[in-house]
Structure 1
Amino acid sequence: MRRMPGAVRFLACLLGLWLLAPFAAGLLRLGDADWSGVDRAALSRAAGVSVASAGIATLLIGLFGIPLGYVLARGRGWWTALLGGAVQLPLALPPLAGGVLLLFLLGYGGPLGALGLSEHFAGIVAAEMFVAAPFLIIAARSAFAAIDPALEDVAATLGHRPGAIFLRVSLPLAWRPILAGLVLAWLRAFGEFGATVMLAYHPYSLPVFTYVAFGEAGLPSMLPVLAPTLGLAVLVMAAGHWLTRPLARQAPTRTGLLPPLAESGAAEAPPRHLALALHRALPGFTLELRLESRARRIAVLGPSGSGKSMTLRAIAGLEGMAGMQVRLDGQDLSPLPPERRAVAYVPQGYGLPAHLTVARQVGFAVDCVPDRAAAWMAALGLEDLAGRYPDELSPGQRQRVALARALSRRRVDLVLLDEPFSALDAPLRARLRREVLAVLRGMNVLTVLVTHDPAEALAMAEDIVLLDGGRIIRAGPAAAVFARPGSDLAARLLGAEAIGDGVVLPDGRIDVGQGVALLVGHPDGEAADLPPPGTRVRWSARPHQIRPMDDGAYPARILWRGAVRDGQRPMRLLLGDAELEILADPSCMADGPCRVSIDPRCLQIWPAA
């Protein structure tokens, strides 16, 4: 048992003792019980009425209350708040007051008095539903609200309609709290007196019979009447505890490193044509995005809150936007719900429902092809993990499951990856990146990758889109965007750290001060596309691309050398007029004059503001 604060233990025990004290007092009075004066037949009838009415009321509460709890958990707006408040009102009312209100509605002269529920078994059920329903509805609302909406979103992209998502994802994940709420509702209905005695005094329920017996014979008659009440309540609580116990799981098979995917020898699939026109205004944020691309793989970069995930969800059909347009190869996907967009969607966190094993996760799509699912499980090293649940998997294994599930559909046109490698350590992230790229290269799909990692974008994407504040600040082929970011912000999004100022010279070099002129190349080996001579520009190279060397092309001065970390030494050097933070070899020369080398193709150039 985990250690608990002493004050917490003391307070818990104090309340527990108070709750147990009345039962202990009742046991001490067993000798005073008048067992001979009890009308056993009437007691049995009353117990039967209470058990039956509480059971029927609980079934009706579950039938209507579980959907209501889901609506309250997923609904938005003033009407949801109003309905949620109304659900809790019966808890605030004295039971007799609740019975009076029911009389106004269901009694003689009430709007529904013609139903004849007063003084009838159905009236008992109606009264019990009124007072007990909040226990189930509140439990269901809390259970559904605790479910990650991404799980339902992923199910929609896998072809499931809303009703199927509710039955196959939401309800199975929420069933334990809901079952606990049903037990509480039954117990509340079983013990209800105030509303029942006002609306349906006859036939006697067990609480009403207890009240009548007390009025006729006093305390000695209470113990024989309370015995079946306590016994039935204990049985129901025990059954509820047994049904909500954690299920035993088979111990998972422990495996070593997952095998890598075989490199695909297939030729690159033909390019796809994506056209986006997205607009959504939210408090404090507006997404305004127009894009056309003919690349096979697109990477979307931007700071947190720039609209990256919202863009991906809009493409998948999970974000409703007025006037939205998503066209793929000329087909307008905008009117189609997510289940009809042929999307393979891997969200942040991977969206794996906790109640499904790996095998059931991979085969969860409506149009899953079993042979294809088996092939992906084999290719991604998941066969030995088929019986595991998500909480028994490492982050890398969960990523593979989500990818296998997404690609096991009969038809996939769009692969949408929302930071799929962000939770992985660096070696595993690099490995899975290579493997996923090998998978995608031979498929005739368009891949859109959301990432924070510029190296990941450059390694996987043909086109790069830079977002900030819901707007595109730069878009185009990856090499061109990296070479010419267009602004300081874009350069920093692409990982620029060592930044300096310069002037374009007539011979195509950049004068950075102190007589140093940097040679500029193009990543594709073409002639550098620089602004006209005399233009003031900003320039950058990655910290590890500026290398101190004895035969380097440019004179510089080392100003400071830091301690070696992870096999590299951080340094500050003066190159021209720019002070730059770089990463160098641990055996780098001492402070003072030096020479450095910079690959001309690594330089990023953009106009100075």
Structure 2
Amino acid sequence: MRPSKPLWWLGALLAVYLCAPFVASIPQIGQADWAGVDWHATWSAVGVSVASASVASLIILVGGVPLGYWLARSRARGIALLGFVVQLPLALPPLTSGVLLLFLIGPYSALGQFFGGTLTDSFTGIILAETFVAAPFLIVAARSAFAAVDPVHDDVAATLGHHAASRFFRVTLPVAWPAIRAGLALAWLRAFGEFGATVMVAYHPYSLPVYTYVVFGGQGLPAMMPLLLPTLGIAIICAVLSVYSRGTRAAPEVNPENGDELTAFTPAPSPPASADLRLAFAARRRLGAFTLDIAWQPQTRRLAIIGPSGSGKSLALRIIAGLEHNDAGAIMLGATDLGALPPERRQIGYMPQDYGLFPHMTVAQQLAFPVDADAASARYWLAHLGLDALTQRLPRQLSFGQRQRVALARALSRHTQLLLFDEPFAALDTPRRRRLQQSLRALQREVGAVTVVVTHDPDEAALLADELLVIEQGRVLQAGGVADVFQRPATLRVAELLGLHNVGEGIVRAGGVIETPEGLCLPCVNTTLAVGSRVMWRVSPRALAATPEGAWPGRIAGTSLRHGDRYVAVEIAGVTFDIAAEDAPATHAGELRFTIDANGVLAWPARDS
């Protein structure tokens, strides 16, 4: 899409102005006083500037990267003030920066006298001046780069067995390095061309900017072109290297619609899992006004935690992984107390929503990254998850399904006993989500690990879990086997979260009928319920039928589509029921009457909401 004409003209005007000085300098090449150039002094000044800028840049790199990381990640008081102060040299006139440095290192300052005046009018003085004025360029770049690195990469690296220093040097720094490298280049160029602070602190030895100023004062404009050529040449070289590096980093991205199908695979030759491998945990965590306080002791290995956004389900998963502090409670995997171990020693596989692949690593490098990665296991999962032809690709060159399988292979390459999935399919469209759910379901049958899936999709939970934990606002609403929870939701809120229909509350009356708050009396074959007790009920869609002899008058209230099946909403005595479209009356004209089969009405004691 072409930009609008006013924007195009404004950009073109500035571009012309920026290019014009270079064009204007071309005729000066032939008119320059080449014979009068002191080449020895010129190249000496170039050498001083190159050397001092390089030393200053090294100092800035060694100190600026940690400082930028600290400014980006620390939440300590005063960190914002520190960030403001270290960037002040960007706003100060260079001469002012030089005066400030003289207050610190000048010959009459305490520090200057301690060093015998060697900090000024020396090569050291040039380095100190250049470091002061150029450091903010790298610090700003490093701070922005580290702030842009997704913290999930550090989390995943921790769960793969890497301690803090390893995570920084192998994950965080490489991801941030392109932006830091650009900041370092700017810092070097700023140091190379620094004049104001340098001339105040170290007039001798001559750096190239100071020497250029001296020659201009003595010989005028004709002597300038020979002195400008080194600077222009260095700038052109830096620009060419920048363009080249951007070109080499570019890589084609694949169509995310392709590559989601899971290749058929045979069972992995993994050792049999321990029969007592079960996850049990109690988690309590207070974050501002929100408090998570849940406990669960499931009896099976395929588990799911379901709840609405903000319910604390992802926080619970991070506590299990060791990525969040657990204020109270224990986390046990079999006989192992995971709560006593840091995340890098918990021997788990953790998959966040975007799978946590490191953007700078190929597929082969991803699988070799876990501290205890098993090369044979990695080769097995590469082949049997259909990834063996993708080992040299970066994450941006993979489809959604391929990324998921790489993350799975990476976790499985270390024989983990606990796999944690945080909304693994939330960002995908329905067809792709269904394919990948089936892929994960197939894999669950092949591994002996405990799997915990966090989701807000009840169908996903039913497919991938045998036991279910339903939470809201940091509290447990219901826990139990998937079939039991779906068949007998503890409260109307649980039924709503599970997407269940034809569910309600009522009071047991004489004769075993259940009276709803709207006054509808539902027949029920359960004779064990005490009269007057409060119960939950559920009516099967097949239990409702429209017949002329029906006991209850009703009307058609609308239609809905669920999972490809069409349902008709029927209102009877103020209560809305869904029935299958094929069982709905053919005509809506006239009065409709319905029967309710008592055998299709299920009731159980209600719990407090």
CA distance in 2, matches of 1:564, 1:274: 37
- Of 422, 427, 439, 1:423 maps to 427
User: Residue 517 of structure 1 aligns with which residue?
Assistant: 523
Cα gap change, 1:539 to 1:370, in 2 (>3 Å): same
The one-letter code of the counterpart of 2:428 is: L
1:320 aligns with 2:321: no
- Of 450, 470, 489, 1:446 maps to 450
User: Residue 105 of structure 2 aligns with which residue?
Assistant: 106
In the TM superposition, residue 276 of structure 1 has moved relative to its aligned partner by 2.7
Cα deviation per residue 1:322-356 (whole Å; 9 max; x = unaligned)? 44532333432223221100111111111111222
Q: In the TM superposition, what are the counterparts of 1:300-311 in structure 2 within 5 Å?
A: 300-311=305-316
1:381 aligns with 2:386: yes
CA distance in 2, matches of 1:123, 1:552: 103
User: Residue 401 of structure 1 aligns with which residue?
Assistant: 406
Cα gap change, 1:600 to 1:70, in 2 (>3 Å): farther
* Contact kept? 1:260, 1:435, Cα under 8 Å: no
Cα gap change, 1:432 to 1:393, in 2 (>3 Å): same
* Contact kept? 1:144, 1:174, Cα under 8 Å: yes
* Contact kept? 1:158, 1:344, Cα under 8 Å: yes
Q: Which runs of 5+ in 2 are unaligned?
A: none
In the TM superposition, residue 564 of structure 1 has moved relative to its aligned partner by 7.5
How large is the RMSD of aligned CA atoms in angstroms? 3.3
Q: Which runs of 5+ in 1 are unaligned?
A: 521-527
CA distance in 2, matches of 1:563, 1:160: 50
* Contact kept? 1:484, 1:604, Cα under 8 Å: yes
Cα gap change, 1:337 to 1:265, in 2 (>3 Å): closer
User: Residue 369 of structure 1 aligns with which residue?
Assistant: 374
- Of 559, 567, 572, 2:569 maps to 572
CA distance in 2, matches of 1:151, 1:552: 65
User: Residue 73 of structure 1 aligns with which residue?
Assistant: 72
Bigger CA drift: 491-500 or 359-368?
491-500
In the TM superposition, residue 608 of structure 1 has moved relative to its aligned partner by 7.6
Normalising by structure 1, what TM-score? 0.88
- Of 586, 589, 598, 1:589 maps to 586
In the TM superposition, residue 463 of structure 1 has moved relative to its aligned partner by 2.5
In the TM superposition, residue 598 of structure 1 has moved relative to its aligned partner by 8.9
The one-letter code of the counterpart of 2:120 is: S
- Of 490, 493, 497, 1:493 maps to 497
* Contact kept? 1:159, 1:340, Cα under 8 Å: yes
1:470 aligns with 2:474: yes
SS for the counterpart of 1:348 is: coil
In the TM superposition, residue 89 of structure 1 has moved relative to its aligned partner by 0.9
Cα gap change, 1:540 to 1:556, in 2 (>3 Å): farther
Cα deviation per residue 1:15-61 (whole Å; 9 max; x = unaligned)? 22222233333334445432232221111100111111111211222
The one-letter code of the counterpart of 2:300 is: A
In the TM superposition, residue 556 of structure 1 has moved relative to its aligned partner by 6.7
Aligned residues: 598
- Of 123, 126, 129, 1:127 maps to 129
CA distance in 2, matches of 1:44, 1:264: 67
* Contact kept? 1:564, 1:586, Cα under 8 Å: no
The one-letter code of the counterpart of 1:54 is: A
Q: In the TM superposition, what are the counterparts of 1:254-273 in structure 2 within 5 Å?
A: 257-262=261-266, 270-273=275-278
User: Residue 97 of structure 1 aligns with which residue?
Assistant: 96
CA distance in 1, matches of 2:123, 2:549: 96
The one-letter code of the counterpart of 1:14 is: L
SS for the counterpart of 2:125 is: helix
Cα gap change, 1:347 to 1:569, in 2 (>3 Å): same
In the TM superposition, residue 270 of structure 1 has moved relative to its aligned partner by 2.7
SS for the counterpart of 1:233 is: helix
Cα gap change, 1:484 to 1:378, in 2 (>3 Å): same
CA distance in 2, matches of 1:345, 1:394: 20
1:289 aligns with 2:285: no
Identity %: 46
1:414 aligns with 2:418: yes
User: Residue 189 of structure 1 aligns with which residue?
Assistant: 191
Q: In the TM superposition, what are the counterparts of 1:227-266 in structure 2 within 5 Å?
A: 227-247=229-249, 249=251, 257-262=261-266
Bigger CA drift: 461-470 or 494-503?
494-503
In the TM superposition, residue 450 of structure 1 has moved relative to its aligned partner by 0.5
User: Residue 216 of structure 1 aligns with which residue?
Assistant: 218
* Contact kept? 1:413, 1:446, Cα under 8 Å: yes
CA distance in 1, matches of 2:16, 2:429: 50
User: Residue 23 of structure 1 aligns with which residue?
Assistant: 22
Cα gap change, 1:597 to 1:16, in 2 (>3 Å): farther
* Contact kept? 2:259, 2:401, Cα under 8 Å: no
In the TM superposition, residue 90 of structure 1 has moved relative to its aligned partner by 0.9
User: Residue 44 of structure 2 aligns with which residue?
Assistant: 45
SS for the counterpart of 1:293 is: coil
* Contact kept? 2:193, 2:209, Cα under 8 Å: yes
* Contact kept? 2:548, 2:594, Cα under 8 Å: no
CA distance in 1, matches of 2:79, 2:378: 41
The one-letter code of the counterpart of 2:93 is: P
CA distance in 1, matches of 2:282, 2:291: 13
CA distance in 1, matches of 2:386, 2:539: 39
